[in-house]
């Protein structure tokens, strides 16, 4: 019985969340995001695989296609493929005349392993630092072995 009640509650909370997201004001935003994603896939399919994996259509602004890349090298390579992108855009009905390419550097040096290691070092030092700060604020009334 409680399992059925739990499912009913989770379904109703999901429904409430869904209704909150999909209201009249947000639907056009979601539709545009889906349209941009599909357009991105269509346009990048006309690029070499290595280049397609390094860029992303960010926006269509009037007659401009706005792409994001991670570095100046990919910017140059995508610029060399500009005519291919414009031809592909026109073939699917867009009146694009210009490609804008913006460099958005990623956090490549910060791999998951690096961040995990760095967070471990920081987290190990936090309790010591907090205990020292508490002692400074409240004097020696704080136990030395307190767990924070």
Q: Global pTM?
A: 0.59
Domain boundaries, the chain: 2-103, 112-141
Of the options 3.40.640.10, 3.30.300.180, 3.40.50.80, 3.40.50.1820, the CATH number for the domain spanning 2-103: 3.30.300.180
Is 50 exceeded by the pLDDT of residue 142?
no
pLDDT (tens digit per residue) in 105-117: 764 455 556 556 6
Q: What angle is formed at CA 35 by the lines to CA 39 and CA 31, rounded to 5 degrees?
A: 175
| Beta strands across the sheet bearing 98-103 | 55-61, 64-69, 98-103
- Residue 101: both structure tokens together: 């390419």
- Residue 102: both structure tokens together: 């913006």
Rounded Cα–Cα distance for residues 102 and 70 (Å): 8
Q: Which helix (H) or strand (E) holds 112?
A: helix 112-138
The distance in angstroms from the start CA to the end CA of the chain is 40
Q: What angle is formed at CA 28 by the lines to CA 18 and CA 54, rounded to 5 degrees?
A: 95
pLDDT of residue 70: 87
């Amino acid at each position: 019985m409680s399992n059925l009640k739990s499912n009913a509650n989770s379904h109703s909370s999901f429904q409430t969340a869904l209704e909150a997201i999909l209201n009249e004001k947000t639907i056009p935003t979601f539709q545009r995001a889906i349209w941009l994603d599909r357009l991105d896939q269509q346009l990048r399919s006309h690029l070499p695989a290595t280049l397609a994996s390094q860029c992303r259509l960010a926006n269509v602004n009037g007659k401009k296609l706005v792409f994001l890349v991670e570095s100046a090298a990919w910017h140059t390579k995508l610029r060399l493929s500009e005519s291919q992108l414009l031809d592909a855009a026109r073939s699917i009905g867009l009146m694009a005349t210009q490609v804008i390419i913006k460099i958005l550097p990623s956090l490549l040096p910060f791999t998951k392993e690096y961040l995990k290691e760095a967070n471990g070092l920081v987290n190990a030092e936090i309790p010591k630092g907090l205990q020292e700060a508490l002692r400074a604020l409240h004097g020696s009334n704080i136990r030395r072995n307190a767990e924070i």
